[in-house]
Amino acid sequence: MKIDLSMDQGYYRSLLNNNELEKLKAGTVKNNNAKSHDELEDEKIKLLASEFSSIFMNQMFKAMRSTIPEGGLIDGGFAEEVFTDMLDSEISKLGAGQDGFNTIGRLLYQQLKRKE
């Protein structure tokens, strides 16, 4: 039986690239020899801006969820809290890379780039 994962390719690719910042710190990114110091710094700033926008979105989701009243027929307890926290975290990571939500990351990148 063959499983088609073409639909999830972007998700798995993002999981593999989660350590991109660590690779940049270590200087082991592909074609590192061809890139100048400025280009590497640019990549670091872009990754950090993207991470910051992801964290910001995660905090926004937490604040939005806190406005929803708890209770009802089924209370998930601690497991539900963990699940929703993990779900919000993944949604914010994926959302930070999309056009509609990466405006924060782009603006932060521009600000950090000016400070250099």
pLDDT tens-digit readout, 28-37: 555 555 678 8
- Residues near 107 by Cβ (< 8 Å), separated by ≥ 6? none
pTM surpassing 0.95?
Answer: no
- As a whole number of angstroms, the distance between CA 92 and CA 95 comes to 5
Other Cβ atoms closer than 10 A to 53: 24
pLDDT tens-digit readout, 3-48: 554 544 554 455 445 555 555 556 555 555 567 888 888 888 888 8
